[in-house]
Each structure stands twice: as C-alpha cells, then as structure tokens.
Amino acid sequence: MISNYHESKEMLTVEKLIPYDNKLAPFFIRDRLYKLIPEGTEHIYIVGIGSNKINGDSLGPFVGTLLEGLYANHVTVSGTLRYPLDAETLESELKQISFPDNSFVIAIDSVLGTERFVNSIMIRNGAMQPGEGVGNCLLPKVGDCCVMGVVLHNVPEETCSLFLTDLHLIYSMAMTIAKGISLTVRQYFQYPSHQPLLGLG
C-alpha cells in the first residue's frame, strides 16, 4: 500500500540506505532491527502490507509469504500473497489482531522516495502510514518499526508505473528483507544456526 518516505535530517541520510542487491544487506537489516527490539519481547508480528495484483505494491505480501510458517513459537505473519493486507482488507484484519504488550510489530511496505533512494531498503523506528504515497491517508498506522523498500521515484508521472514495476526487483528486495528479518528472529530468540532462513509459503 504505497507510502511516501519523507526526507528529514534525522531519518534520511545516505548512510542509512541499504542497497537491496548488496550481499551483506540481510546482515545490515538484522543489525538495525535487532537494536530496535525492546528487551523482554516475547513475540514478533510481521505485517506485510500491499496488494498481490500490483507489482510495485507486492513487496509486503512477498515478504510475508517467504516468512510464513517459520519460528511459529515466536513469530506471527499477517499479509501474504495468498491473503494480502491491501486497502480493502487492512483495517478490518488489524482489528482482529490483538498485539500483546510484550510483542513487537514489524511493518513492511513498498514506498516512493527521492531518486537517489530508489532500489534501496530503509528501516525506521515507529509506525508506518500505509497508502500515503497514493493519496490514501485514511488507513490506520501500523507497526512499532517499519521496513520500507523504495520501488519508485516519488513523482506523479511514475506512480502509474506501479503496475509495471519490475517483478524481479520486488522479489529480490523481498528475499533480502525476509532473510534480514529471519536472521533477526534467529539471533534474538537464539535459534540454532541451522534453522532455515525462509519458509515455503
């Protein structure tokens, strides 16, 4: 559910960008997410936001599908390619989820950003506002932190290109994010190193 990534002196520095195709990107994601998880967290919720009908908006559901079924004792996934959390379902589905006090919610979504950030992954502490990038700000904010994949330049003439966004880019970015989250969970809850990084969906 495409959002905007707003520039600010606090949040947007080139050093915080993670190129999606960097071989070490999953480890960079792990390192940043691990620092955000509060001590005492007992369960992590993954909320993959987006549509399975629009290439550029399918990042969240892709990540959810890749992580579905892993770490069942410590992770719950909502939003997959089979059951996406899109503009029509997000609000009603979130109302059915009760996030305990000792849980941590990671929201994943595609975002629009400035040209130098396209094809990068960014992590931000705090909730995400889904749909902002396409003028829909009525949806509820989601997450204790958010992982964002910048898929397009934030200019009106490119927004319509979401349907034609390179699906290989989205899939590759989703793989990187999913591996990073999986490494985070594996380290935080002390799973053995031979635990699979991704699920079969």
The percentage of residues in the chain with a pLDDT greater than 70, rounded to a whole number, is 82
**142: which 2 tokens?**
């989601």
Question: Which pLDDT value is given to residue 158?
Answer: 53
pLDDT at 5 over 60: no
Question: Which pLDDT value is given to residue 10?
Answer: 39
User: Which residue type occupies 112?
Assistant: L
pLDDT at 12 over 50: no
pTM tops 0.85: yes
Tell me the average pLDDT across 7-13.
Answer: 44
pLDDT at 122 over 60: yes
Q: DSSP per residue over 47-63, as a string?
A: EEBS-SSSGGG-HHHHH
pLDDT at 139 over 90: no
Which of 200, 167, 198 shows the shortest CA–CA distance to 181?
198
How long is the chain?
A: 201
Tell me the average pLDDT across 107-133.
Answer: 85
Q: Higher pLDDT residue, 63 or 1?
A: 63
CA–CA distance from 38 to each of 13, 94, 128, 169 (Å)? Answer: 24, 22, 18, 32
Q: Higher pLDDT residue, 122 or 199?
A: 122
DSSP tag of 140: P
Residue 11 C-alpha from the chain's centroid: 17
3 within 8 A of 59, measured Cβ to Cβ:
no
Which structural domains are found in the chain, ordered by start?
19-187 (3.40.50.1450)
Question: Which pLDDT value is given to residue 60?
Answer: 96
Q: Higher pLDDT residue, 153 or 144?
A: 144
Question: Which pLDDT value is given to residue 137?
Answer: 57
